[in-house]
Amino acid sequence: MSTPNASAAGKVARLLGRGHLKILVGFWAVMLVGWAGTVAAVETFVGLKTSTWWWFIRSAPKYFLLVLGILAAAVYLPRFVAYGITRRDARVGTGALAGVVALAFGALVLVGFGIELVVFSVTGIADRLTDPYPISSVGDAVGIAVRTILLCLVYPVTGWVLGAGYYRLGVWRGSLLLSPGIAPVFLPRRRWTRVGSHRGSCSRRPRRRPALRLPPSSRTS
């Protein structure tokens, strides 16, 4: 079994990184502008009750990376192969870049929470929140960062599996990979929505227990 060519894999990572840098920066710029607009609108008309940054980072980054993973396998992999780069080197280079992007996303999510905390503290919104803030300790921050990094690795890998399946096997046989390919997308979902020690909007509401009813014999006695 041949070993990956570090030079070729590094070239793949650099090419993909430079080609997608503007897209990644634009994505986070849109996230920040959307968050600021949401904060202003909700605070003006309703009044903020919980973290709005939490709404933005729960889904958008994951599915954004899922799409990039699909494009990497279905669009860029054939181009690399056409230029003489092996599939193994392309996979290694793409995986290395995915790891760097996942780490960056984990850091940016925490930066977003930091910005929101500063804004909420300066404007007095923090004193009016009805739901506890998702981050109240170092442990909460580390937990959110780790989960973000792991999910930001799972989703592009899932996208790569889907894209590679259609590229190598065609539409019909590639569709057979759809079910196992998208399984990782849904497996972490419940865990992701329970970040923050089951507090506030991060946890699900407990189900109401049915009222206890006595059997007819007990009521008539």
Q: Are 159 and 72 in contact (CB under 8 A)?
A: yes
The fraction of the chain above a pLDDT of 70, given in percent, is: 77
Q: Residues 154-211: pLDDT tens digits? A: 899 988 888 887 777 777 777 766 666 566 566 655 544 444 444 433 334 444 444 4
Distances (CA, A) of 127 to 48, 50, 72, 117, 121: 10, 11, 45, 11, 8
pLDDT at 39: 92
Q: How confident is the model at residue 15 (pLDDT cuts 50, 70, 90)?
A: very high
Span 123-144, pLDDT tens digits: 898 888 888 899 989 999 999 9
**pLDDT at residue 26 above 90?**
yes
- Evaluate if pTM is beyond 0.85: no
What b-and-e string marks burial along 144-179, b requiring 16 or more CB atoms within 10 Å of the CB?
bbebbbebbbbbbbbbbbbbbbbbeeeeeebeebee
Over residues 91-117, mean pLDDT: 95
3-state secondary structure of 194: coil
Domain extent listing, the chain = 12-40+49-199
Which of these ranges, 35-44, 89-98, 124-133, has the smallest mean pLDDT?
124-133
Rounded to an integer, the average pLDDT of 22-48 is 93
Looking at residue 149, what is its pLDDT?
A: 95
pLDDT at 47 over 50: yes
Look at the chain and count its residues: 221
Instruction: Put residue 50 in one of left, alpha, beta given phi > 0 → left and psi -120 to 50 → alpha.
Output: beta
CA dist 182 and 175 (Å) reads 11
How far apart are alpha carbons 8 and 80 in whole angstroms?
A: 10
Judged against a pLDDT cut of 70, whether residue 85 lies above it is answered with yes
